[in-house]
Structure 1
């Protein structure tokens, strides 16, 4: 009698576990065999492997539980656990599918090329939208799991009954979360920033290294990382040096003496640019942009393919131009001038100024000028 009762439980559950375990072992063996292969079928198999290995035994466990003489209450609880496990496997599979699709798109649009504007646009949209989609799938799956519990379902009904007040409180509490979510959607669609864009944020020069679901990582030029909320790029102005293209103009300023030979400087700048691989061949201009009582300001305007090349080209031009001036035209470098007077001539000059009324400003003084 006892064995007969136990047999009613052991046989269906044992068969389900043995067959399910063997099937999971086969799936995992195939998964390990596909590791390292880069064909499309192999990638799909690796994406399906772990979730299916866990879901297959649970799928066989549901009919096996129904074949046992369990009471309705215990059967319902056991089946609920199996259904929660299957729901989790399905959500896991969807998340892995989104991640696999993201990797496939990123693989087909690499940014390690010279003209990567279109690739950076696609990669930015793909990364942001995939993270938003993953977050939505996880939230939906957690909601489906929680709603299978009667207590949570009752709480949900009560929340719907008082949706006005609860919605207001929840909206205020979740403002940062939903604000970043909406900002991520805006960035994905309008793309004020993209991966590998050169930006100026809070006075720091850097590149967009990562765009997450709630923040952006900016790699500063000295290898520091600045973490900025997504909403910051929607609510604050910033500079994007690669919005349409990476081409950039760079300037190098020189303060020179009035005797500086501008034509020779212009010819030397053209020679430096032609010999420099950093120059892209578009702009090479020498202009006098300012004059002061002591010096004149010369602007050397050049162009480069990107901001990094522009910075290096500006440094190169300053160095070689100063070397050229010091070697060929030392009189062009700024210097301080002073005029010395003979001490014996000073009293005679002062008396001459006082004796000549024409050199005084009219109405400058009411009386005679002081002598001494």
Structure 2
């Protein structure tokens, strides 16, 4: 038992300071010993690296707590210091538990390599582990603050009153934080339903990008031009979006060109084969050239190619588009899009401007100009006597 008189306060402070220094030195020695063991054990190395400071602080606080607990009657300051040291102990213990959560995250993530061509499972585990760690840290912080408050007698009395009216408070809190809670539950849903994962390639708001971060309340999308789009978690549970890597990283992409009717399709198909065959961006799965439309003065061609992932596909599409355009310019410039308004048989007669007579086919419309058209109009009007007319 230390000197309990008021005059013994300097002695108590000196002993507490000495105990704190000794505890800090013990923490340093323990850290050095742990570092030797950690050379062969990565888990121990992670614990030593992350937990070095909180362990030393915990030893110091315990030493000071022991010294002050043995010193009584040294003045009113002792109780205040003991209370503060107790609060610091709670915070330090919470810090250590948080370090354990971070170490568990590091160990889990080290077992799943995302730097592979097919990393869907690894990205799913990575997303779930990161979100679980964040949830554990938030819960730990709430528990630590609650434990600190419960050390005060007045707070314990208030806690009993709060528990008595927990039903009303939960309703009020739910209404006040409806949006925030919705985002939290949406974030959990995204992590454990595997809708999106970190590094997934998505198209949102007509922007192409990669999922960079998933938190409890929002998702960060790294857009292709290095912008960051921050979206609430509820966006991905309520709004349709494209996920290019939902089941696999390999994707297909199309290159569309409008050309003249005289384009040699077979020769162009051979040029596509030459462009992609053996190219490092092509994964060897799909290369197809098809006529997808032929309306008006142009023919629409679609070249379909495949690549191992979204970014590679983007560059491959650009390569194919540039190659086909250059080939048309060099080999078949006549096949480039052009407007035909002369030299076509029948064009001059059709464009002579001769007014159509009432009985000519040009004057007959879908609902006017003939008996059949009038019958069709009355059918749409719902009554055979209600034919369409200028008055109607």
Q: TM-score, normalised by structure 1?
A: 0.84
Q: For 1:114 and 1:4, locate their aligned partners in 2 and report how far apart those are by CA, in whole Å.
A: 71
Once the two structures are TM-superposed, the CA of residue 86 in structure 1 deviates from its matched residue by 1.4
Matches within 5 A, 1:144-183: 144-183=147-186
> Hey, what does 2:384 align to over in structure 1?
none
1:80 aligned partner? 83
After superposition, what is the alpha-carbon deviation per residue over 1:191-227, rounded to whole angstroms, capped at 9, x for unaligned?
A: 2111111111111111111122322111111111111
Instruction: Assess if the C-alpha contact under 8 Å between 1:16 and 1:57 holds in 2.
Output: no
SS at match of 2:283: strand
CA distance in 1, matches of 2:82, 2:269: 84
**RMSD (CA atoms):** 3.4
State the distance in 2 between where 1:361 and 1:175 align: 65
1:64 aligns with 2:60: no
Q: Does 1:41 align with 2:40?
A: no
Query: Which stretch of the first structure deviates more once superposed, 23-32 or 107-116?
Result: 23-32
Q: Distance in 2 between matches of 1:22 and 1:335?
A: 89
Q: 1:255 to 1:30 in 2, by over 3 A?
A: same
In structure 2, what is the Cα distance between the partners aligned to 1:116 and 1:176?
33
Is the CA contact (8 Å cut-off) linking 1:187 and 1:193 kept in structure 2? yes
Shift of 1:152: 1.6
| Runs (5+) with no aligned partner, structure 2 | 371-392
Q: Does 1:90 align with 2:96?
A: no
Q: CA deviation at 1:113?
A: 2.5
Q: Which shifted more, 147-156 or 178-187?
A: 178-187
Residue equivalent to 1:210: 213
| Shift in CA distance, 50/262, structure 1 to aligned 2, threshold 3 Å | same
For the residues of structure 1 that align with 2:363 and 2:118, how far apart are their CA atoms? 71
Give the counterpart of 1:130 among 112, 130, 133: 133
Separation of aligned partners in 2, 1:20 and 1:363 = 104
Is the deviation greater in 156-165 or in 241-250? 156-165
Matched, 1:267 2:270: yes
Tell me by how many angstroms 1:331 deviates. 2.8
Structure 1 equivalent of residue 304 of structure 2: 301
In 1, Cα distance between the equivalents of 2:57 and 2:315?
56
Contact persistence 2:281–2:313 (CA under 8 A):
yes
| TM-score using structure 2 length | 0.80
Evaluate the alpha carbon distance shift between residue 272 and residue 363 of structure 1 in structure 2; reply closer, same or farther with a 3 A threshold. closer
Tell whether 2:220 aligns with 1:248.
no
C-alpha spacing 1:314/1:57, structure 2 compared with 1 (3 Å): closer
